[in-house]
Amino acid sequence: MRLNFVGRIGAMAALAIAFVLAGPPQALGQSGTAPQIPASALIQPQALNQMLQARGTAKPLIFQVGFQMMYREAHIVGARYAGPAVRESGLNTLRSAVEKLNRSTPIVIYCGCCPWNHCPNMWPAYNLLHQMGFTHLKALYLPDNFGTDWVNKGYPVAR
């Protein structure tokens, strides 16, 4: 039976939570959870959508730092896939994508695989970019998941 998008997001959330509880291999110095990201570094979905829809303003670079299945299913228009930041390979992809950028480049990262409090990918991605010196770094706050907090709100997606 084919699951709808929200059903697949729920299945991914269950897998991500199981992944976290099983103790996935963390990159050295990268262990942590999304709630450790400072509130000042968070951006709400509505605010990001307004920023992306505004004419005449510079758009941030957007990186999806979660699982590829989710990115392929639907992602924020213009977002680049970096891979799951809970894995060293995902962090390396993200690092390679940004290493030559000016450190004042606006960047937004997001995952949305599962509820914010359990997301294994946001903290490692945020921590890496913060340590690299990016000063205009935001983390998209998706309290439940990408399906509920972005797709179901009617914000634009690419498939």
- Each residue's pLDDT tens digit, 1-35: 344 555 555 545 444 444 444 344 444 345 688 99
Q: pTM of the predicted model, to two decimals?
A: 0.83
108-132: pLDDT as tens digits: 999 999 999 999 999 999 999 999 9
Domain that holds residue 110: 5-158
Find all residues with CB under 8 Å of 74, minimum gap 6, and list them: 5, 146, 147, 151, 157, 158, 159
The CATH number for 11's domain is 3.40.250.10
Distance (Å, whole) CA 33 – CA 117:
7
- SS3 state at 79: coil
Average pLDDT over residues 59-72: 97
Supply the DSSP symbol for 106: -
Q: Describe the strand order of the beta sheet including 80-81 as a list of residue ranges.
A: 42-43, 137-140, 107-110, 61-64, 80-81
DSSP 28-73: TT----GGGS-GGGEE-HHHHHHHHH-TTSPPPEEEE-S-HHHHHH
Distance (Å, whole) CA 159 – CA 155:
13
The domain tally of the chain equals 1
Distance (Å, whole) CA 50 – CA 25:
36
